[in-house]
Structure 1
Amino acid sequence: MMPANHIAERNAKDAQQEFIRNFVEAKPDIVSFVDNCLGWNEAGEFLRFFKGSFNLSIAVRNSVTNERVVIRFPIPGKVYDLWRGKKVKHEVMVITYLREHTSIPVPRVYHWGLTEESPQQLGPFIIMEFMEGENLGDVLKKPTPNEADLAILDPDIDEAKLGGIFEQLASFMLELSRLEFPRIGAISKDAVSGEWAVTEPPLTYDMNEVVSFAGFPAEHFTTMPVFDRSSNYFAARAQCLQIHLETQHTVAYDAKDITWGRYVARHCFAKLIPTYGMIDDAGPHRLFCDDMRPSNMLINPETMEITALLDFEFTNVMPAQFAYDLPWWLILRDPGIEVSEGETRKQKFLDLFEPRKEQFIHAMERVEARSSRPTGEPLLSARMRDSWDSGRFWFNLASRNSVDVDQIYWQFLHKEDLGEAMLDTATLAGKEEFLERKEVQFKAYLAEKQSDTRFDE
């Protein structure tokens, strides 16, 4: 993994703590705001707080009708401040689109707005339906005495129960894979015509992470276009991966051979686009949710029916091949992190993942057997298997993951007989200058951290 920037992380933590204090103090105004927005005539009452990876929420109940809703705000420090409004708008558009075009259980949006419309100017917000159910991630994970332990799929889980859950998720993924768009980016609905279109560049999970925590220049993304071809999108991603390496000042924390290995990996990644990044190059492109995983889903523990899919903030129309991948979360572990921890951890991950891969593909085959499909459309189950067998799964994952791209490249995409030979002479000639530049940046980072009194606490 990329060495952390503790200054950026501390800045983010300070911003989060300040917002949380203000949010808690504003609780009465927030409840009153929800009451007014929904016309509840002062029947609204506070139920509880929720804190997620990117959002802070309050559940509010109508004391007369017992109706419940959630009002949710993106947290500064978790979401790059200038993108909080964009994040909210994009999620509202995706939820609205899914409710119109799929049977996927997503919450109804009652109201949303930007900072200037919010109580005490707390920030952009969404008021949405309160969805019932238990967290699916908690249902699937192995029980441990320590809640802080990393989640992993329970090896003793009832196989019939898991198969049923996989079939439901396969059905959702099949629906998503059939939503077609001519361009790559964020969707919106024209207020007059009611037509849906890709109108803005994408806002992704990885973009938020590198800008918030790695020193990546946010202005680079303001000039990002809407893409017509997958290959152009991947070329832009390859450039972003190289910019990330240049602008993260902690890279030289590692030994020089590791630092140079990152440089080689990111430049070689660009060379792999003709091999891995040309599936349905000209479209149609598909809606893809980068954060669609069990911890963002709810399930009825009695019937094992999935009752809600949540958190679509970083959902965009993306290269179609993303929608043809297996779910990365099949054993509840992040593959990028697992393979970055060494050969033993990598093999252990694969040993656990492979059987679940087969189980999920078989679940998809059963769903497809019950579903009609457009004439000439390949089976999604076959596409998933091909993506895994060809290594495209790992190329796609690397393209979305600036932190772990280097390890993914060296573990799964590197060809032993090529290596640095894939790079041109001019690129290779810059080795010493690159290493020196990263060393200078790292020393400046250490000096800044040493002078920061917050780290004396």
Structure 2
Amino acid sequence: MMPANYIAERNVEDVQQEFIRKFVEAKPKIVSFVDTCLGWNKAGEFLRFFKGSFNLSIAARNCVTNERAVIRFPIPGKVYDLWRVKKVKHEVMVINYLHEHTSIPVPRVYHWGLTKESPQQLGPFIIMEYMEGENLGDILKKPTPNEADLAILDPDINETKLNGIFEQLASFILQLSRLEFPRIGAISKDAVSGEWTVAEPPLTYDMNEVVSFAGFPAEHFTTMPVFDRSSDYFAARAQCLQINLETHRTVAYDTKDITWGRYVARHCFAKLIPTYGMIDDAGPHRLFCDDMRPSNMLINPKTMEITALLDFEFTNVMPAQFAYDLPWWLILREPGIELSEGEAAKQEFLNLFEPRKEQFIHAMERVEARSARPAWEPLLSARMRDSWDSGRFWFNLMSRNSVDVDQIYWQILHREGLGDAMLDTVTLEGKEEFLKRKEAQFKAYLAEKQSDTRFNE
């Protein structure tokens, strides 16, 4: 894992806390705003607050009809400020598209708008359908006495119940994998023709994280194009991974060997593109949700029917091979975090993941057997198995998560004889200069942190 930048994290926390204060104080005005937008004729009342990773929400109820709705605002700091409107717009487009083209249970969007239209100028917002159900992640995880414990799939879970859940999710993933576009980027609907197009570059989870928490220059992304080929997208990602290393101020917190290892891993990622990054290179490309996990899903605990998939803010058309991967969350643990804990943790993760991988592939096979498909279309279950067996699953994960690059490369994709040997002479000659540059950067960071009174409280 990349060392944390505590100054950036504290900056985000300060901005977030100020927004939460304003949001709570504005509760009556927010409920009144929802009432007006939905024509409830002053029958609206506050129901509850919701706080997610990137959004603050209020659920409101019409006390006459019992209709309920949720209004949601992206949290400043947690979402890079200049991207808050883009995030909202992109999610609205994806939700509307999924309603038109799939049977995936997503909330209906009633209204959305910009900061100037919002109550108290709180920011861009979405008013959407209130979805019933309990958090699927809570249903699947192993019970623990401490709520702060990292979630892991309950080893004693009823296998019939889990198979049913996996089949439902396999159906959703299969539908997503069939949504084709000629280019890589964010989708939108043409107001005149009604056609769905890819006209903007993607906005991804990783882009937001590196800009918000790692000092990545946001202006770099203003020139990012819409991509026609997967290999071009991966080449751009390789450049971003290197920029992230150069601009991340705390990299030299670790030893020189580890710091140099980070450099090597990023250069080797670029070298691995011809091996792992050329599946369906020219398209068609596929719609892919970067944050589709059980904690963002609701389920009816009595019928075990999944009632809602939520949070599509970082969903884009991406290289098709992303849609051919197994879900990374099959045991509810993030693979990159497990790899960072060392060889024993890696092996434990694989021992737990492998059986669930087989279980999910079999669930996909059962769904495919019931689903009509063109004779020429390869089975998604077979593509998932090939992605895992070939190592492409890990390359794809590495490309989407800047913080996981090092552990994925060195623990999974590195092979004997590679590493420094994959670097050209000019790059190798720049090693000492790179290490000096990172050390000076880290010393400047430490000096700034020591002079920041927030850390002396």
Cα distance between partner residues in 2 of 1:171 and 1:383: 15
Cα distance between partner residues in 1 of 2:127 and 2:309: 16
C-alpha offsets along residues 376-396 of structure 1, whole Å, 9 cap, x if unaligned? 010000000000000000000
In the TM superposition, residue 417 of structure 1 has moved relative to its aligned partner by 1.8
Correspondence 1:258-277 to 2 at 5 A = 258-277=258-277
C-alpha offsets along residues 171-195 of structure 1, whole Å, 9 cap, x if unaligned? 0000000000000000000111110
Task: Give the equivalent residue in structure 1 for 2:95.
Answer: 95
In the TM superposition, residue 421 of structure 1 has moved relative to its aligned partner by 1.1
Runs of 4 or more, structure 1, over 6 Å off, are none
Task: Give the equivalent residue in structure 1 for 2:123.
Answer: 123
C-alpha offsets along residues 35-83 of structure 1, whole Å, 9 cap, x if unaligned? 1111111000000000001100000000110000000000011111110
| 1:455 equivalent in alignment to 2:455 | yes
In the TM superposition, residue 340 of structure 1 has moved relative to its aligned partner by 1.2
Q: Which amino acid aligns with 1:330?
A: L
Task: Give the equivalent residue in structure 1 for 2:5.
Answer: 5
Task: Give the equivalent residue in structure 1 for 2:394.
Answer: 394
Task: Give the equivalent residue in structure 2 for 1:353.
Answer: 353
Cα distance between partner residues in 2 of 1:417 and 1:429: 19
Correspondence 1:139-150 to 2 at 5 A = 139-150=139-150
Task: Give the equivalent residue in structure 2 for 1:373.
Answer: 373
Correspondence 1:37-436 to 2 at 5 A = 37-436=37-436
Q: Which amino acid aligns with 2:196?
A: W
C-alpha offsets along residues 91-134 of structure 1, whole Å, 9 cap, x if unaligned? 00000000000000000000000111100100000000000000
The runs of 5 or more residues in structure 1 that have no matched partner are: none
Question: What percent identity do the matched residue pairs reach?
Answer: 89
In the TM superposition, residue 415 of structure 1 has moved relative to its aligned partner by 1.4
SS in structure 2 at match of 1:111? strand
Cα distance between partner residues in 2 of 1:15 and 1:331: 34
Task: Give the equivalent residue in structure 2 for 1:443.
Answer: 443
Q: Which amino acid aligns with 1:258?
A: I
In the TM superposition, residue 375 of structure 1 has moved relative to its aligned partner by 2.5
Cα distance between partner residues in 1 of 2:388 and 2:408: 14
Q: Which amino acid aligns with 1:346?
A: K
Cα distance between partner residues in 1 of 2:148 and 2:413: 33
SS in structure 1 at match of 2:403? coil
Cα distance between partner residues in 2 of 1:178 and 1:120: 41
Q: How many equivalent residue pairs?
A: 457
Q: Which amino acid aligns with 1:124?
A: P
Q: Which amino acid aligns with 2:305?
A: E
Q: Which amino acid aligns with 2:44?
A: G
TM-score scaled by structure 1?
Answer: 1.00
C-alpha offsets along residues 248-297 of structure 1, whole Å, 9 cap, x if unaligned? 01000000000000000000110000000000000000000010000000
Task: Give the equivalent residue in structure 1 for 2:33.
Answer: 33
The runs of 5 or more residues in structure 2 that have no matched partner are: none
Cα distance between partner residues in 2 of 1:316 and 1:27: 32
Q: Which amino acid aligns with 2:113?
A: G
Cα distance between partner residues in 2 of 1:96 and 1:336: 32
TM-score scaled by structure 2?
Answer: 1.00
